[in-house]
């Protein structure tokens, strides 16, 4: 037995000791999560390749599956922070992958120790005061008597590493980070290069595709369940989260062999470049993906096949945990919830990764099984990650705080009710967009709209898609349906102040860049050299643009 396993079982023993004969007062909760799985892969009505995800389909058949589930922000840290708090990312000022939830259990005086290690205690207190987070659902469960065990990727902050288990991916990478500096200068529209992307993949790894971390999390979660964790009289919350199928695109022959021929899904349906919306052109050009359609077709097809094999790997890993749950527990007294944080383009729309509101990136898998939930339900209501917070509280019998924007999914799954809102709203304020981007889905219509660009620049026009008639989102009907655009904009404004959110993030970008890149790398004297670390083709014209935006010089006649 491994050291990690011994630790887990010892921690479990402390909880279980003395519980014999006691009655379980609240249901146990098994929380399963993947990173970057396209939500359409399980939706038989969505026009996307369907890799054999047998374990997830089996779990969906045991409860309620929500095919129309969306990320509240298609990027890891904002999505997961929204999920944990039940609020929109702009409400808690978690904008990107470089600053997560700073406070611990709602206390502005107690801040995340990993945040302090990256920035400073003073800076982290500033983050905490601006975010005004009242704790996560994990904190609420702990306060109500749940024993908390967390394994795998969390990527949200909030001091959650203090619970037993082992979580990975802390969201505090913003100090002197070229990736963060690229994030904070997104409004300038700079590009690192304009080459045909290389699309690197590995498909012959002698080890599991994701390395040891996902396997450590899977093994320990399964061993805890097999050892009787959910037989405890103390209510248990077990969080098991995988990195796979997140990039890099690595797999091995075992999983690759399980991907059938992709057929018509080998290559994406790319629009002619002359028809690409300016926001999508920005996303593709500034990330060196604009010329992905010039890459060898077999390389594109192979990358997509590798991605689908990684989804199969995720399914099989979760299957080990699900099997352990079935051996040791019962849906009569325990809930199982499975979801993802966002999707993956896999070269669709000339993009890789997430970071857009196209269906490939915005849709997530979501299913719930447990007491009182009838088997085999497919619930068509639109749902979002911000619905997870009230759902978990509802499972545990905890009263909501009133701060959350989401709704519990249990009334839908148990009582066949419909949600109070028949729409979902999401937002994005990160590196693939020069400005704040907002999405609303209602019925078959999806609107994507944009905050104003930099002063003096044109505003990108809205995009409106009819997903029933145009599931690949190739025809923008906004000009044909101005009344629908205005109606949907009105619904977004009921939820969010788009201009205020965008202005706050752009100010945040400028301040973070100034303190943690411009000054940290030597100020004006080293500006050109520092910027060429991010953008190798950074030109005198780019330097003028930067100086105008920042209000600080970036001389081109000084190269240190």
- What averages of pLDDT result for each successive group of 10 residues across the chain (560 residues)? 39 41 80 97 94 98 98 97 97 94 87 90 92 93 96 88 81 79 91 80 72 87 97 96 92 91 92 93 88 91 95 96 97 97 94 94 98 97 98 96 92 90 96 94 98 83 97 96 98 96 96 94 95 92 95 81
Residue 169, domain member (yes or no): yes
Q: What is the pLDDT of residue 426?
A: 98
In whole angstroms, what separates CA 262 from the centre of its chain? 26
**Domain end position, chosen among 372, 402, 432:** 432
Please provide the DSSP assignment of 480-535 as one string: T-HHHHHHHHHHHHHH--HHHHHHHHHHHHHHHHIIIIITTTTGGGGHHHHHHHH-
- Identify whether residues 249 and 367 lie together within a single domain: yes
Distance CA 265, CA 247 (A): 20
CB atoms within 10 A of CB 332: 9
**Domain end position, chosen among 377, 408, 432:** 432
Residue 262, domain member (yes or no): yes
Distance CA 393, CA 146 (A): 11
- Identify whether residues 424 and 528 lie together within a single domain: no
Distance CA 388, CA 339 (A): 9
CB atoms within 10 A of CB 275: 10
**Domain end position, chosen among 432, 450, 475:** 432
Residue 10, domain member (yes or no): no
- Identify whether residues 424 and 535 lie together within a single domain: no
- Identify whether residues 378 and 259 lie together within a single domain: yes
Q: Are 512 and 184 in contact (CB under 8 A)?
A: yes
Q: Which two tokens stand for residue 261?
A: 């021929």
Residue 447, domain member (yes or no): no
- Identify whether residues 68 and 168 lie together within a single domain: yes
Residue 68, domain member (yes or no): yes
Q: Are 104 and 110 in contact (CB under 8 A)?
A: yes
pTM for this structure?
0.93
Q: Are 489 and 447 in contact (CB under 8 A)?
A: yes
HSE-up (13 A, CA, CB side) for residue 439: 23
Distance CA 90, CA 410 (A): 26
In whole angstroms, what separates CA 66 from the centre of its chain? 17
User: The domain containing residue 282 runs over which residues?
Assistant: 26-202+236-323+331-432
CATH at residue 264: 3.40.720.10
Q: Are 224 and 194 in contact (CB under 8 A)?
A: no
Q: Which residue has the tokens 């400073």?
A: 120
Q: Which two tokens stand for residue 293?
A: 């359609």
Our count of domains for the chain comes to: 2
Q: Where are the alpha helices (DSSP H) in 365-463?
A: 388-396, 410-415
- Identify whether residues 319 and 423 lie together within a single domain: yes
Distance CA 448, CA 445 (A): 10
Q: What is the pLDDT of residue 435?
A: 95
Distance CA 481, CA 461 (A): 13
Residue 69, domain member (yes or no): yes
- Identify whether residues 420 and 530 lie together within a single domain: no
Residue 442, domain member (yes or no): no
CA-based nearest residue to 321, from 151, 130, 142, 545:
151
């Amino acid at each position: 037995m491994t050291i990690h396993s011994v630790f887990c079982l010892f921690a479990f023993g402390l909880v279980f000791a003395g519980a014999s004969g006691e009655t379980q007062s609240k249901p146990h909760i098994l929380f399963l999560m993947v990173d970057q799985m396209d939500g359409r892969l399980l939706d038989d009505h969505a026009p996307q390749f369907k890799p054999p995800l047998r374990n997830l389909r089996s779990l969906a058949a045991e409860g309620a599956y929500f095919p129309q589930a969306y990320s509240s922000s298609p990027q890891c840290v904002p999505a997961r922070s929204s999920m944990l708090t039940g609020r929109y990312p702009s409400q808690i000022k978690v904008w990107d992958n470089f600053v997560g939830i700073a406070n611990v259990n709602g206390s502005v005086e107690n801040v995340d120790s990993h945040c302090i290690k990256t920035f400073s205690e003073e800076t982290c207190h500033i983050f905490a005061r601006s975010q005004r987070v009242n704790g996560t659902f994990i904190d609420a469960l702990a306060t109500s008597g749940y024993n908390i065990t967390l394994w795998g990727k969390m990527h949200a902050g909030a001091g959650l590493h203090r619970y037993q288990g082992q979580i990975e991916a802390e969201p505090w990478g913003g100090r002197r980070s070229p990736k963060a500096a690229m994030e904070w200068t997104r409004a300038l529209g700079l590009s690192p290069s304009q080459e045909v992307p290389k699309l690197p993949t590995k498909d012959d790894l002698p080890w599991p595709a994701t390395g040891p971390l996902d396997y450590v999390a899977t093994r320990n979660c399964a061993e805890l369940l097999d050892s009787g964790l959910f037989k405890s009289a103390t209510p248990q919350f077990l969080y098991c989260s995988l990195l796979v199928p997140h990039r890099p695109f690595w797999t091995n022959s075992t999983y690759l062999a399980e991907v059938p021929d992709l057929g018509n899904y080998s290559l994406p349906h790319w629009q002619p470049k002359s028809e690409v919306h300016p926001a999508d052109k920005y996303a593709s050009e500034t990330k060196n993906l604009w010329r992905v359609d010039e890459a060898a077709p077999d390389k594109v097809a192979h990358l997509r096949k590798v991605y689908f094999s990684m989804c199969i790997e995720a399914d099989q890993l979760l299957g080990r945990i699900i099997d352990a749950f079935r051996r040791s527990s019962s849906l009569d007294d325990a809930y199982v919830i499975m979801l993802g944080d966002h999707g993956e383009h896999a070269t669709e729309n000339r993009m890789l990764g997430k970071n857009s509101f196209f269906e490939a990136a915005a849709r997530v898998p979501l299913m719930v099984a447990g007491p009182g939930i009838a088997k085999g339900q497919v619930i068509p209501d639109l749902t979002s990650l911000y619905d997870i917070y009230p759902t978990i509280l509802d499972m545990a019998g905890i009263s909501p705080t009133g701060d959350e924007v989401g709704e519990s999914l249990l009334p839908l799954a148990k009582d066949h009710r419909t949600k109070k809102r028949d729409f979902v709203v999401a937002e994005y304020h990160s590196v693939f967009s020069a400005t704040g981007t907002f999405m609303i889905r209602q019925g078959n219509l999806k609107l994507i709209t944009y905050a104003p660009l930099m002063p003096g620049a044109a505003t990108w026009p809205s995009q409106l898609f009819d997903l029933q008639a145009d599931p690949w989102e190739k025809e923008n009907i906004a000009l044909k349906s101005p009344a629908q655009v205005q109606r949907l904009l009105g619904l977004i404004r009921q939820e969010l102040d788009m201009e205020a959110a965008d202005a706050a993030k752009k100010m945040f970008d400028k301040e973070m860049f100034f303190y943690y890149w411009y000054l940290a790398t030597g100020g004006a004297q080293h500006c050109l050299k520092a910027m060429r670390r991010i953008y190798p083709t950074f030109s005198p014209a780019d330097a003028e643009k930067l100086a105008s935006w920042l209000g600080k010089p970036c001389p081109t006649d000084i190269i240190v």
